Structure 1
Amino acid sequence: MDEQALRTTAEERLRALAGPEARLRDDQWTAIRGLVADRGRALVVQRTGWGKSAVYFVATALLRELGEGPTVIVSPLLALMRNQVDAAARAGVHAATINSANLQEWDEVHEAVADGTVDVLLVSPERLNNPDFRDTVLPKLTASAGLLVVDEAHCISDWGHDFRPDYRRLRTLIAELPEGVPVLATTATANDRVVRDVAQQLGLSDESMVLRGALDRESLRLGVLRLPTAQARLAWIAENLDRFTGSGIIYTLTVAAAEELAAFLRDRGFEVAAYTGKTEQADRLQAEEDLLNNRVKALVATSALGMGFDKPDLGFVVHVGAPQSPISYYQQIGRAGRGVNRADVVLLPGREDRDIWSYFASLAFPAERVVREVLAALDSAGQALSTQRLEPLVDLARGRLEMVLKVLDVDGAVRRVRGGWESTGQPWEYDAERYERIATARDSEQRAIEAYQETEGCRMEFLLRQLDDPHAAACGRCDNCTGERWSDAVSGAGVEAARERLRRPGVDLPPKKQWPTGMSTLGVKLSGKIKPGQVSETGRALGRLTDIGWGNRLREVFAAPDAPIPDDVFDACVKVLSAWDWERRPVGVVTIASGSRPQLVSSFGSRIAAIGRLPLLGEVRTGERAPRANSAHRLAQLWGSVRVPDDLAARVSEVEGPVLVIDDRVDTGWTMTVAAAMLRDAGAEGVMPFALATTS
């Protein structure tokens, strides 16, 4: 097929995909020609909504007409996959997915790929190292693929705002492709450093095409508004939400903040829904559909709603709290304004933002000593260990352990097999210099997002320069360019309503029902379900440390030197007690000893006992409560240190009814679980946990 015929066919395919008025952009055609005619490799860095997916769907259609094999698209999110399957169908391309949500369809999809009826197979990066897929399906796919596409390619990069270790497996996959198989990588959020890193990770040669366009979207109107308190921010949103055109997204930094804000807006009569990493999959799908069809004014979301959500008429994006990177901020606001003339983007920063960034930074790649423990545990096992069986052997929480294993896998030190993970015996070096560079880059990004809030210049130009966009220029639309700013006025009644909602005290502390697995390897003979006679009742905490209501006040309390419980905090705890719908009223108070805040805990317990006219029965001894990263190690430490003194045991056995057990904060929940089990063993008829704060 000559070049003119190729372009004519490409234009026809594009019109089938995007409508009768669609025409190929110059860079779209350059990429398609390079992939189809030259069988080359390309990196396309273009703004969200530019038409990157059109490049690979049109290229797929052309390659299939030439008799080439199916396209394999590595795509990071289920939402993105669902949209792409629908888009592919419009272009006359049959697409299918293999992901965690369609397990029952895998065999059918494999057969369709084998018999040639599937033109595009979308897989998650995690699927590339599923043992069955990697060993049985992937070799055949690699041998027969007509095109490999890496979507959201910034995820490959250590420097990307959404680094995912599984993406780095693509280096191996690309190296195993037969000669002449074209490769396309696409992203909307990559600065020069990320572009260089992606090119290196994907093995793109110097001759490969890097097609970078202007990232500005002329519909976006950027603004920053500083409000003094969390309740003022909530009140402002409630009083201004109707001023935003259409429906949109309100982003928060934490799950707790999303749930609090969504509940407050529903109280004020708005149709909104919370969307977080804790939202059930079915509820996520429903929320996405409701927003797509304008059945809700907004989704109040964490970053769980990000790449892949495609709503061309999204009218606004508001952030309650600043993301820790200008690049991730740009990626999120890029959800708006694709198919409308104007979309408002407003950032409402909070004084707690840096505390939240610090928490996320604490989850970075662990120290070398801890990683060596993982390798040593696998080396000594002599067999594959599941993550669940490995967890008691190393002091890492489940999520961080899985991240470490993926990095070690990509680096060749461990291998995922049926039944878990095994050591390869290959030497491995801890790249401390790389991790330090990444940490330094993260700190620089945080300073940059703070500078974005303070800049007196064009806000869009500021963001585009962070992305090294060579086309960056003053937009003429943002609040600094026009002088048109959102009013910071909020009514006293609105602030008071928000304060009442945020200061509504009390969150549940659900009891643990199961001991962690593998405790015998740590010398503790506990397994299976916790005996019903040792389980506590559902407890209460005043608030979460991560929320935007009591969380702010509680963080102040825990940051200050140890002192008796403040009156305002105690008064709120009394409200929690008053609203507690217990079946049986507590008949006594027990405190849990604190090495770091003895005055806080003892005053909390004694004042609760006094106001409730309950006997203060005594104190559970805990020894030193050193921080532990996972449940098994935390429980092992506690099992050897928590003790119910004889005099306390005698008192709890004499009272008739449950006892209220007081602590300052609940992190893993194992201190309260062990204390409850021991108090129940000592004769307590029930245990009702009560803490100032919870971190969950």
Structure 2
Amino acid sequence: MSTTPTGETATSDQTARALEHESLRDQSLKDQAQQVLRRLVGREDAALREDQWRAIEALVAQQRRALVVQRTGWGKSAVYFVATALLRERGEGPTVIISPLLALMRDQIAAASRAGIRAETINSANTTQWEEIYQRIAEGEVDVLLCSPERLNNPAFRAEVLPHLADTAGLVVVDEAHCISDWGHDFRPDYRRIRTLLTDLPEGTPVLATTATANDRVVTDVAEQLGVRAEQSVESSDVLVLRGSLDRESLRLAVTPRADAAVRLAWLQRYLASREEGTGSGIVYTLTVAMAEQVASQLRAAGVNVASYTGATDPAERERLEADLLANRVTALIATSALGMGFDKPDLGFVVHLGAPSSPIAYYQQIGRAGRGVARAEVVLVPGEEDRAIWDYFGSLAFPGEETVRAVLAALADAPDRTASLPALETAVDLRRSRLEMMLTVLDVDGAVERVRGGWRLTGQEWEYDATRYERVERARRDEQRAMLDYEALETSACRLAFLRADLDDPELTPGWRCGRCDLCAGTFVPPLPQGEEVEEARTALARAGVDITPRRQWPSGMPTLGIELAGRLGVEERAEPGMGVARMDGIGLAGRVRSCLSEQAADDVVPPDLRAAVRAVLTRWRESGLEVAGVVVVESATRPRLGSHLAHGAASVLGVPMVGRIAPRKHIPPGRHDVNSAQRLSTVAHRLVLDLSPAAREGLPGRRVLLVDDYTDSGWTLTVAARELRLAGAAAVLPFVLGVR
């Protein structure tokens, strides 16, 4: 047994670490780095790449700032973990890693543990452990602290924790640093705080920024955020910029002609069925959550072993699905961009895009998941007719116009103590909560407002609307969309990978270079778009109506403060049963027709003839599976009363039961907005809706099962409140039915 300097008995781990450190001191810096790398990857033959070593040397020996732009799978995480081990051995403080990918860094953290690096994470899911983690940091027992960029927006973290970390950090890492530029204000606004963080670092604190996807514009913007003058050369700058080739020798790129949803689904089913045993599993990317879920559902029904993975997937389920993909227990995950940066599967055999991302940068980043450890991986883009409409929708969620921002600032100025909660601010502007929060975060970064307990407060600092910056970002977004369309339209004289490398300003791309592997260089290698029976089967599947509605089970917190005495879980005697809708409004196939019928521009009319068959099909299948109701109650719509009434009477006719009443709005209370938070939406609905039954219907209701019909459901609170009214009036069960589900 050895003893520590304080006289306490050291553990065997402490003894081993002390001996290891003593051994490291006797080696050259590069030898030390190689030794750490081998423990990190678990291979004795592992060797540092030249640029990995250059970055580590700059950070450890020269205390410089470095920007590393290297393709996915190159080993950027190895740079900061090896540098951490060497800096800690020299007595430096812990490394602070700012990353948006904490949930996807399990493999890297496990590898770091193998190398003797002790990592901790601070996130919203482990707040009860923060004090213990801070104490361990203070006692020198933490080598790496990982936190999300959103932590930088937490007032307590910024005031109480960040200054200490900045003063004591041995290394600061900005992971996925393209977020500073590529999404900027409308994706990770908290990344813009990094300039302030870096300014406050003690002189000589090394900083590493890493990304896999950066063209010259992105590199310039990231360099600007790091405090680097973009016009400086690498040799004369205090910052080392390392950019490598974007060539991926394992990737085979192809694009199919643009087609409708049924053709693309039939093609995808054929493609996945053609994958040979042992060729590895892959990822199929879609542009929306609904598309991912719907495509996965249709493929499973056809016998293909897939699962959906989106931002709406439960975190525990995400981890299980990642493990299934890593172990090749599924043919593919049908995913949104939620499965992207940070996911590492060396033998990923293919990446298919069912719909094109809006920029070559996003596309290259996602296809970079494939082919890291295999000789051949297929990358196929299957563009859709709806792609540009989806791009426009997400583009519309960018930073709001100046008039909207000024309205929020005026509402704060008029509020007591110039402070207001989010619900109070929502009455001042027509923004959903998520977008309003994003806007306030940008204003916080700009110094105009600050988050305080109970809401947001004006700081008194003058604020200028940066129209030039927002216009520049919008122009860049449009340019990238055009580039993506150009990529789709390339002719045989071109090369797909050369196009992507040129668009991302690959410094190692030479004039006239061709990959020799893509469909333009070597000929197509994927099945052609199908016709005939296959497509009709897919079209029939997409036209199949029916989507489950899961009833609400929990009231939002804080309802008594809004005059609504509802709290906790809904009792079984007051809640709805699982319901059905005809289609998701953000899906493909039948969803497009439902979406059109329920759009704000659509006139209030009867259910269109082409949707009546779908309504009848859902209700008939439901009845055949055991649906039994004694009557129909309609939720009277303020904006589409004719549509709702026609839908309800049609449902009653199909089921052979009578209309028994309605859930009616109180005339003196106007309909509430749907783009507000859950508590505010429930407050409006609870104050506004009332059960309207005839005396005979009310007398006959107890013990009966009722179908509750509405035109669509969004938050779910209208159906929840209406069902509760019917249950309290004696209904034995209430089963919701709607045309559209958002």
Give the TM-score normalised by the residue count of structure 2: 0.83
Name 1:152's counterpart in structure 2. 176
Q: Do the aligned partners of residues 636 and 430 (structure 1) sit closer, same or farther apart at CA in structure 2, a change above 3 Å counting?
A: farther
1:275 equivalenced with 2:309 (yes/no): yes
Q: Of 130, 135, 144, which residue of structure 1 is paired with 2:154?
A: 130
Q: How big is the shift at 1:153? A: 0.2
Name 1:604's counterpart in structure 2. 647
Q: Do the aligned partners of residues 101 and 84 (structure 1) sit closer, same or farther apart at CA in structure 2, a change above 3 Å counting?
A: farther
Aligned letter for 1:290? Answer: D
**Whole-Å separation in 1 of the counterparts to 2:630 and 2:534:** 37
Q: Of 591, 609, 628, which residue of structure 2 is paired with 1:551?
A: 591
- The one-character-per-residue Cα deviations of 1:245-266 (angstroms, maximum 9, x if unpaired) are 2111111222222222223333
Q: How big is the shift at 1:428? A: 2.5
Name 2:123's counterpart in structure 1. 99
Give the TM-score normalised by the residue count of structure 1: 0.88
Name 1:212's counterpart in structure 2. 243
Q: Do the aligned partners of residues 614 and 74 (structure 1) sit closer, same or farther apart at CA in structure 2, a change above 3 Å counting?
A: same
Name 1:587's counterpart in structure 2. 631
Name 1:222's counterpart in structure 2. 253
Q: How big is the shift at 1:164? A: 0.5
Name 1:664's counterpart in structure 2. 711
Q: How big is the shift at 1:691? A: 1.9
The answer as to whether partners of 2:661 and 2:697 remain within 8 angstroms in 1 is: no
Structure 2: runs of 5 or more not aligned: 1-23
Secondary structure of 1:42 counterpart: strand
Q: How big is the shift at 1:45? A: 1.0
Structure 1: runs of 5 or more not aligned: none
- The one-character-per-residue Cα deviations of 1:626-676 (angstroms, maximum 9, x if unpaired) are 8542045556666787677x7x65675365445544443333345555665
The answer as to whether partners of 2:186 and 2:398 remain within 8 angstroms in 1 is: no
Instruction: Single out whichever of 567-576 and 182-191 deviates more from structure 2.
Output: 567-576
Q: Do the aligned partners of residues 5 and 224 (structure 1) sit closer, same or farther apart at CA in structure 2, a change above 3 Å counting?
A: same
Name 2:40's counterpart in structure 1. 17
Q: Do the aligned partners of residues 300 and 391 (structure 1) sit closer, same or farther apart at CA in structure 2, a change above 3 Å counting?
A: same
1:487 equivalenced with 2:527 (yes/no): yes
Name 2:480's counterpart in structure 1. 445
1:247 equivalenced with 2:247 (yes/no): no
Q: Of 467, 484, 491, which residue of structure 1 is paired with 2:504?
A: 467
Q: Equivalences for 1:148-297 in 2 at 5 Å?
A: 148-157=172-181, 159=183, 163-205=187-229, 206=232, 207=237, 208-226=239-257, 228-244=259-275, 245-297=279-331
Instruction: Single out whichever of 300-309 and 446-455 deviates more from structure 2.
Output: 446-455
**Whole-Å separation in 2 of the counterparts to 1:540 and 1:449:** 38
Name 1:48's counterpart in structure 2. 72
**Whole-Å separation in 2 of the counterparts to 1:162 and 1:340:** 36
Instruction: Single out whichever of 469-478 and 38-47 deviates more from structure 2.
Output: 469-478
Q: Do the aligned partners of residues 93 and 671 (structure 1) sit closer, same or farther apart at CA in structure 2, a change above 3 Å counting?
A: closer
Q: How big is the shift at 1:422? A: 3.8
1:565 equivalenced with 2:598 (yes/no): no
**Whole-Å separation in 1 of the counterparts to 2:476 and 2:341:** 22
Q: Equivalences for 1:610-689 in 2 at 5 Å?
A: 610-616=653-659, 627-631=673-677, 634=681, 652-653=697-698, 656=701, 657=704, 659-672=706-719, 688-689=735-736
Name 2:5's counterpart in structure 1. none
Q: Of 539, 544, 552, which residue of structure 2 is paired with 1:504?
A: 544
Q: How many residues matched?
A: 690
**Whole-Å separation in 2 of the counterparts to 1:396 and 1:513:** 26
1:404 equivalenced with 2:448 (yes/no): no
Q: Do the aligned partners of residues 677 and 94 (structure 1) sit closer, same or farther apart at CA in structure 2, a change above 3 Å counting?
A: closer
**Whole-Å separation in 2 of the counterparts to 1:255 and 1:272:** 15
Name 1:302's counterpart in structure 2. 336
**Whole-Å separation in 2 of the counterparts to 1:499 and 1:423:** 54
The answer as to whether partners of 1:271 and 1:297 remain within 8 angstroms in 2 is: yes
Instruction: Single out whichever of 309-318 and 671-680 deviates more from structure 2.
Output: 671-680
Instruction: Single out whichever of 259-268 and 150-159 deviates more from structure 2.
Output: 259-268
Q: Do the aligned partners of residues 537 and 321 (structure 1) sit closer, same or farther apart at CA in structure 2, a change above 3 Å counting?
A: same
Instruction: Single out whichever of 429-438 and 677-686 deviates more from structure 2.
Output: 677-686
1:435 equivalenced with 2:470 (yes/no): yes
1:32 equivalenced with 2:56 (yes/no): yes
Structural RMSD (CA): 3.5
**Whole-Å separation in 2 of the counterparts to 1:591 and 1:477:** 58
- The one-character-per-residue Cα deviations of 1:339-365 (angstroms, maximum 9, x if unpaired) are 111110111122222333233233332
**Whole-Å separation in 2 of the counterparts to 1:489 and 1:558:** 32
**Whole-Å separation in 1 of the counterparts to 2:371 and 2:380:** 13
Q: How big is the shift at 1:179? A: 0.4
Name 1:85's counterpart in structure 2. 109
Q: How big is the shift at 1:223? A: 0.8
1:311 equivalenced with 2:345 (yes/no): yes
Q: Equivalences for 1:349-364 in 2 at 5 Å?
A: 349-364=383-398
- The one-character-per-residue Cα deviations of 1:296-334 (angstroms, maximum 9, x if unpaired) are 222221111111111111111111122222211111111
Name 2:167's counterpart in structure 1. 143
The answer as to whether partners of 2:634 and 2:644 remain within 8 angstroms in 1 is: no
**Whole-Å separation in 1 of the counterparts to 2:459 and 2:612:** 56
Instruction: Single out whichever of 190-199 and 400-409 deviates more from structure 2.
Output: 400-409
Instruction: Single out whichever of 492-501 and 427-436 deviates more from structure 2.
Output: 492-501
**Whole-Å separation in 1 of the counterparts to 2:37 and 2:450:** 42
Secondary structure of 2:248 counterpart: coil
1:476 equivalenced with 2:516 (yes/no): yes
Q: How big is the shift at 1:574? A: 1.2
Instruction: Single out whichever of 168-177 and 228-237 deviates more from structure 2.
Output: 228-237
**Whole-Å separation in 1 of the counterparts to 2:399 and 2:684:** 24
**Whole-Å separation in 2 of the counterparts to 1:543 and 1:617:** 26
Secondary structure of 1:382 counterpart: helix
Instruction: Single out whichever of 505-514 and 490-499 deviates more from structure 2.
Output: 490-499
- The one-character-per-residue Cα deviations of 1:75-120 (angstroms, maximum 9, x if unpaired) are 2112443222123234443333222344454344323322223222
